[in-house]
Structure 1
C-alpha cells in the first residue's frame, strides 16, 4: 500500500532575494514523499502567497490525499482530484519519482522524452539600487545570461539596466518586472531596453491589467509569468505575449507542465522554464521540461546558502540533469 508523508523545510538564502513585491532570506518549501514496497518518491514545492498559498494549507492538502494515494490514485487522476498549484506539484513529482524507481527506468523514458542534456541557466540578480546591481553584475559577468529583478518602472529601472549592462557588457539580459509597471511604461521602457540589448521582458504588468498589451509592437519580446499558469487560459496569451514562463508550482507538476509546453508550441508561443527559490529537488523534474525551452531559469539552488544532498551539478551556469539518487 502506498503511503504519504510531507514536511515543511527552510533553506537559508545567500544574503536576500528581493523583487518588487518584497524580500526574503529563506526558502520555505514543502517536500512530499510517496512510498511503496520500500521505495520512496519525492517532490518539492514552494507555496506562493501571490497565489493565495501558504505552507500549512499546502501540507494539509498533500496529506489529505493519503486515502486516494493508498487506493492507487494515478497521476492522471491526481490532475482531476487537486487544483493546479504547489501541493499538486509536490505530489505529482513524487509520483513520477516513485514510478521511475518501481519501473527501474528514468523518468524521462517514462515520459517518452529523449535523454536530457546539460543546459545553460539564467542567473538572477535581486532588485537593488543601480550601483549595487552594477556590482552584482560585475561579479557575475562571466555568466552568459543574467536575469534582473526590476521595480516600479520609470527612470530608476532604466538606470538599473544601464548599471547591469556596464557591469556585465557581454551577458544576455532578461528583465523581470514582477507585475510592477504601469501600462504607459511598457513601450517607453521596452525601447530603452532594446537600446541596452535586453533580450526579454518578463511580466511587465499586473496579470489583471495585461489585456492592454494586445497588439502592441514591443521592440523586446514579452513573456507571461503571473499571467500564465496551466492549460486553461493559454489561448488568451496569444497576441499578448511572445513567451510563456512555465513553472511546475504554477502548472501543478511535471504532468501538466509537459502538456503546457506542447500547447505553447502549437500556439507559436516560445518558452522559458522558470523556478521559485528552492533546492535541487524542485529543479530536477523541471530539467525534463527545460529540454524544450528557449530560455532556462533554474538557478534556485545557486541563490541558497547551501543545497540539499545529493544535489544537481552546476558548473558555472551549466546545470546537469539529475542523478537517480536525487530524483527520477
Structure 2
C-alpha cells in the first residue's frame, strides 16, 4: 500500500503578542505534514520563517514538489537529498520519525540512541517592550528559573535593568535577534555582565559577525541566525561559544542530531531552540534538549491554545512527549 501525504495549514493564536526586534505577531501559522501507511500515521510541524525567505506558500510548494517520491516510500536518508535544510524538510522529516515509531511500536528516542528522555527546564520568553512593560512581564514570570529576554538595540540597558528588577533571582538569557551593532557591542555586553546574563544570542547580523572573533566575550555568545546545519559550524569557530539548534533551520530531527554531535565535537555548547509553534513542533526537539546546556522550547507556553494532546508543562519543566503526540 503506498504512503499517503496530507498537508494542513493551521493557525494558533498567541497569548497577547510575540515581539522581537524584527516585528510582532499575534498567531503562530504552521504547516503540518501527515504521512499515513495503512493504519499508522506520523505527523510533523514546521513554522515557515520570513527571515529565511520562507512562507506558507513556499513551504507547501516545496513539499508538494517531492510528493511523488514521498508517497513512493522515500526514507529519511533520501529526504536529505530531496529537500534543502529548512522548514519544509523539517515537517516531513519529523513526520517520518513519528511514522517509524508508530509502525514499530518503538519510541523515537530509542531509535535515535537515547535510553530514556528526562524532563527539561525550558526558558520562558519575554517579548521586547518598554522597560515598564518588560518589568511587569518579568514580575509575572519571576518564579520561572530561566527567562529569555528579547532585546532590540537602543534602550536595551534600561530594558535589562527593568527585567532584573522584576525577576531578581531568575537566570537570564538575552536574544538581540541581530539588532546590535559593532560600535555598541562592547557596551551592550558589559551591561549584560552587570545584570548577570548567562548567555547572549546572535548580537550581530549573520554575515556581519566577524568582530566577535576579535573582541573579549565576557559572556558566552550563541549563534542563532548564523547557525543552520552541520555545514555552517566551521565558520562559527572563534566567534561563538554555543549554537542554537532549531529543527526548522536544520530541516528536521535527522540533521539536528548530526549537527548536535558535530557541535559538541567542535567544542560548542548547545541550545535547543524553537520557533513559536505547538507541542507537535516541540516534541522532537526534546531529543536535542537532552544534549543542551540551555533549552528554549516554550512555544506552547506562549500560545492561547495548544494542540490536544500536548506536552505537559509544570511551570517551566516539560515532560517527555506522550506517544499520542509524537514519536
TM-score using structure 2 length:
0.99
Paired residues for 1:123-272 under 5 Å: 123-152=124-153, 154=154, 156-272=155-271
Within 1, Cα distance between the matches of 2:214 and 2:34? 45
8 Å CA contact retained: 1:199, 1:220: yes
Secondary structure, counterpart of 1:208 in structure 2? coil
Q: Does 1:23 align with 2:19?
A: no
Secondary structure, counterpart of 1:200 in structure 2? strand
CA RMSD of the aligned region, Å? 0.7
Segments of structure 2 that go 5 or more residues without pairing to the other structure are: none
Within 2, Cα distance between the matches of 1:302 and 1:141? 15
Hey, what does 2:321 align to over in structure 1? 322
Within 2, Cα distance between the matches of 1:202 and 1:90? 25
Question: CA offsets, 1:53-91, max 9 Å, x none?
Answer: 000111121122221112210101100110000000000
Within 2, Cα distance between the matches of 1:231 and 1:219? 26
Hey, what does 1:40 align to over in structure 2? 41
8 Å CA contact retained: 1:4, 1:63: no
TM-score using structure 1 length:
0.98
Within 1, Cα distance between the matches of 2:134 and 2:71? 50
Question: CA offsets, 1:216-265, max 9 Å, x none?
Answer: 21111110000000011211111000010000000000000000000100
Shift of 1:145: 0.3
Secondary structure, counterpart of 1:206 in structure 2? coil
Secondary structure, counterpart of 2:16 in structure 1? strand
Secondary structure, counterpart of 1:180 in structure 2? coil
Aligned length: 326
Within 1, Cα distance between the matches of 2:232 and 2:282? 25
Secondary structure, counterpart of 1:33 in structure 2? strand
Within 2, Cα distance between the matches of 1:233 and 1:215? 20
Within 2, Cα distance between the matches of 1:159 and 1:142? 22
8 Å CA contact retained: 1:272, 1:294: yes
8 Å CA contact retained: 1:194, 1:220: yes
Q: Which moved more, 1:198-207 or 1:65-74?
A: 65-74
Secondary structure, counterpart of 1:264 in structure 2? helix
Paired residues for 1:50-65 under 5 Å: 50-65=51-66
Shift of 1:122: 0.2
Secondary structure, counterpart of 1:244 in structure 2? strand
Secondary structure, counterpart of 2:276 in structure 1? coil
Secondary structure, counterpart of 1:16 in structure 2? strand
Question: CA offsets, 1:151-177, max 9 Å, x none?
Answer: 12x4x1000000000000000000000
Shift of 1:215: 3.4
Q: Flag as ranges the 4+ runs of structure 1 deviating above 3 A.
A: none
Q: Which moved more, 1:61-70 or 1:135-144?
A: 61-70
Question: CA offsets, 1:31-58, max 9 Å, x none?
Answer: 0000101111000000000000000111
8 Å CA contact retained: 1:280, 1:311: yes
Segments of structure 1 that go 5 or more residues without pairing to the other structure are: none
Within 1, Cα distance between the matches of 2:232 and 2:53? 19
Q: Does 1:309 align with 2:321?
A: no
Within 1, Cα distance between the matches of 2:292 and 2:90? 19
Secondary structure, counterpart of 1:232 in structure 2? helix
Question: CA offsets, 1:300-328, max 9 Å, x none?
Answer: 00000010100000000000110000000
Within 2, Cα distance between the matches of 1:46 and 1:57? 12
Within 2, Cα distance between the matches of 1:298 and 1:35? 27
